[in-house]
Structure 1
Amino acid sequence: MEQSATLEVVVGRVGRAHGLRGDVVVEVRTDEPDERFGIGATVRVEGTERELTVVRSRWAKGSLIVAFDEVSDRNGAEDLRGSVLVVDVEADDDPDDPDEFWDRRLRGLTVVDESGIDRGGVKDVLHMPAQDVLVIDVDGDEYMVPFVRQLVPTVDVASGKIVVSSIPGLLDPNAEEAR
């Protein structure tokens, strides 16, 4: 039986202790917090083999409060502070919604304009309040393109390409609009 490749993905970062029973505030870094921090879920402390099993989690004032089976008191919670939490996921896993994409699957994609000319590559994805933004590397310069259908009409993860609209100035600050 063939095993598929997995990737280590960051899902959160442990913040301050919350209370005396070992609960911690988790800075969420996943689109699936209910799955990644649901009761029975396991995460690993980045750079170690230490696994933590979620025994309870709840949202309070916009923060995720999590208790792990392996952490029984405030001292243990304080020791975890600053730890980055990771999980292993299938490398080719995609969200169920065809209009959603994992950041890890977008990074490294080739960016082409509507005429098919190679313009660069996706360097990162930023999650801003209004919408997500693609950071695109064009010959060593970074351009930020809002990740909206009007500007990014096509995303084809399988072929390794995304299409960005040929709007003057979007990927070239010296471009002048045709008059």
Structure 2
Amino acid sequence: MSQPTVIARIGKPHGLRGEVTVQLHTDEPERRLAVGAVLDTEATSGSGVPRALTVRSTRVHRGIWLVGFEEVPDRTGAEGLRGTRLVIEAEDAGPAEDDEDTFSEEQLVGLAVHDPDGERLGEVVGLVLGPQDRLAVRLTDGREGEVPFVAALVPEVDVAGGRVVVRLPDGLFDLEG
């Protein structure tokens, strides 16, 4: 059996009617989160989260996707969904070749980070999704930071080769906390 594909991760509740924020992991939120769509869930065992949720409503508020589910009528129920992953079976996700410039967090985490001259700088430790997606990178000296995931700064992603090339702007990782 294949590994499910994550469509979104549920964040915090929004308002009183059971809406939640979602961190998208799909380029097709309008289709994947359409009203009436039934999505399987992955949640902590014993959390009480239903095995599937039916989309009741979707909207974008200040650049953040908000989703309501038929099974969750209020804020209390929405709070219990925090951290739940919304998934579909991999075969339902469509061919991975649809967009050669689209990568999942699972594909990116662990890739070696190199500069354009080939010097190893560190590794990818996460993908931060938002209005501007960012690669979370841990440098070889232990410092961590985020690099905007745009072609100008990340000109090459070679999943099969296990590496990504980044052009780090001067000072990007030099901030002291």
TM-score relative to the length of structure 2: 0.69
Partner of 2:23: 29
Partner of 1:21: none
| CA distance in structure 2 between the aligned counterparts of 1:135 and 1:52, rounded to whole angstroms | 30
Is the CA contact (8 Å cut-off) linking 2:113 and 2:166 kept in structure 1? yes
| 1:136 CA drift (Å) | 1.4
Partner of 1:102: 104
| 1:122 CA drift (Å) | 0.8
Partner of 1:176: none
Distance 1:145 1:81, change over 3 A: closer
Distance 1:66 1:113, change over 3 A: same
Where 1:29 maps in the other structure, the secondary structure is: strand
Write 1 or 2 for the structure with the bigger share of strand. Answer: 1
Distance 1:152 1:55, change over 3 A: closer
| 1:149 CA drift (Å) | 1.6
| CA distance in structure 1 between the aligned counterparts of 2:10 and 2:30, rounded to whole angstroms | 12
Partner of 1:42: 39
| CA distance in structure 1 between the aligned counterparts of 2:61 and 2:5, rounded to whole angstroms | 32
TM-score relative to the length of structure 1: 0.68
Report how many aligned residue pairs link the two structures.
159
| CA distance in structure 1 between the aligned counterparts of 2:138 and 2:119, rounded to whole angstroms | 14
Distance 1:45 1:126, change over 3 A: closer
Distance 1:56 1:26, change over 3 A: same
Render the CA deviation track for 1:136-179: whole Å, top value 9, x for unaligned: 111211133222222211011122210123766556x5xxxxxx
Partner of 1:153: 155
Where 1:17 maps in the other structure, the secondary structure is: coil
Distance 1:53 1:4, change over 3 A: closer
| 1:110 CA drift (Å) | 0.8
Distance 1:56 1:95, change over 3 A: farther
- In structure 2, list runs of 5 or more residues that go unmatched: none
| 1:132 CA drift (Å) | 2.5
| 1:60 CA drift (Å) | 6.5
| 1:82 CA drift (Å) | 4.0
| 1:55 CA drift (Å) | 5.0
RMSD of aligned alpha carbons? 3.3
| CA distance in structure 1 between the aligned counterparts of 2:139 and 2:60, rounded to whole angstroms | 42
Q: Which residue of 106, 113, 116 corresponds with 1:114?
A: 116
Partner of 1:138: 139
Partner of 2:68: 66
| 1:105 CA drift (Å) | 1.9
Read off the aligned partner of 1:97 and give its amino acid letter.
Answer: D
Alignment of 1:11 with 2:5, yes or no, is no
| CA distance in structure 2 between the aligned counterparts of 1:55 and 1:149, rounded to whole angstroms | 34
Render the CA deviation track for 1:5-62: whole Å, top value 9, x for unaligned: 34667522351431xxxxx212011144334432132232611472233152232655
| CA distance in structure 1 between the aligned counterparts of 2:77 and 2:153, rounded to whole angstroms | 45
